[in-house]
């Protein structure tokens, strides 16, 4: 009897164990909370330095101060003085889209008319007393491809020529040389020093 009971017990235990091992897995439990962020990694090695950028005035051309010879002609009994300066850097593109600024340092006048080393942008108009009359001298510059024509007119014929002590200078500014300081600078309203500082040029 004991033997029969033991056999029945072992058989029942084996069937229960087999049933348990063959049952399907339960449903997946909920996702656990996110763990804490790990420490930041070490900073990588710095890459090589890039090439230096191009200067803002790299394409700007500034001449030295130069004298100029003029020829005198009479038009309607008024004196006209004309001089030409060959400038091959003034291309058709510069004429159409760029900017050319001309400056004068008219040291041939007396100090009370033109202070020594004063610089002004063309056109320049001077009014002063001469021989009891109000003398008006007008300096203009006309830009064309490869050339700057200088023209001086007077309202009275009192000078045989333009003073050789006058000095002139030009600045050629291509359209792609406008810097981030100002997208549309009005150079005609800027002083000589302001323009030089704008492009980092020598006075």
pLDDT of residue 22: 45
pLDDT of residue 24: 54
Q: What is the pTM of this model?
A: 0.70
Beta bridge partners of 104: 120, 168
pLDDT of residue 32: 60
pLDDT of residue 39: 74
Rg of the Cα trace of the chain? Answer: 44
Beta bridge partners of 143: 148
pLDDT of residue 156: 95
Residue 64 and residue 165 in contact, taking contact as beta carbons nearer than 8 Å: no
What whole-number distance in Å separates Cα of residue 71 and Cα of residue 55? 40
- The phi-psi region of residue 46 (left if phi > 0; otherwise alpha if psi is between -120 and 50; otherwise beta) is beta
pLDDT tens digits in sequence order for the chain, 203 residues long? 444 444 444 444 444 444 444 445 556 656 666 667 767 667 767 766 655 544 456 699 999 999 999 999 999 999 999 999 999 999 999 999 999 999 999 999 999 999 999 999 999 999 999 999 999 999 999 999 999 999 999 999 999 999 999 999 999 999 876 544 456 689 999 999 999 999 999 99
- The phi-psi region of residue 184 (left if phi > 0; otherwise alpha if psi is between -120 and 50; otherwise beta) is beta
pLDDT of residue 18: 43
């Amino acid at each position: 009897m004991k033997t029969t009971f033991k056999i029945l017990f072992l058989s029942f235990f084996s069937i229960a164990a087999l049933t348990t091992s063959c049952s399907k897995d339960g449903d997946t439990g909920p996702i656990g909370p996110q763990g804490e962020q790990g420490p930041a990694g070490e900073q990588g090695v710095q890459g090589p330095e890039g090439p230096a950028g191009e200067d803002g005035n790299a394409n700007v051309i500034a001449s030295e101060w130069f004298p100029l010879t003029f020829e005198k002609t009479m038009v309607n009994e008024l004196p006209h003085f004309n001089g030409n300066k060959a400038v091959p850097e003034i291309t058709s593109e510069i004429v159409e889209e760029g900017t050319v600024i001309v400056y004068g340092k008219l040291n041939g006048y007396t100090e009370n008319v033109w202070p020594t080393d004063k610089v002004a942008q063309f056109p320049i108009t001077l009014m002063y007393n001469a021989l009891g009359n109000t003398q008006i001298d007008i300096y203009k510059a006309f830009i064309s491809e490869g050339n700057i024509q200088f023209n001086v007119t007077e309202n009275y014929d009192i000078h045989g020529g333009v003073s050789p002590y006058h000095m002139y200078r030009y600045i050629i500014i291509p359209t792609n040389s406008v810097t981030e300081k100002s997208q549309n600078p009005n150079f005609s309203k800027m002083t000589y020093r302001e323009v030089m500082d704008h492009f980092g040029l020598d006075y």
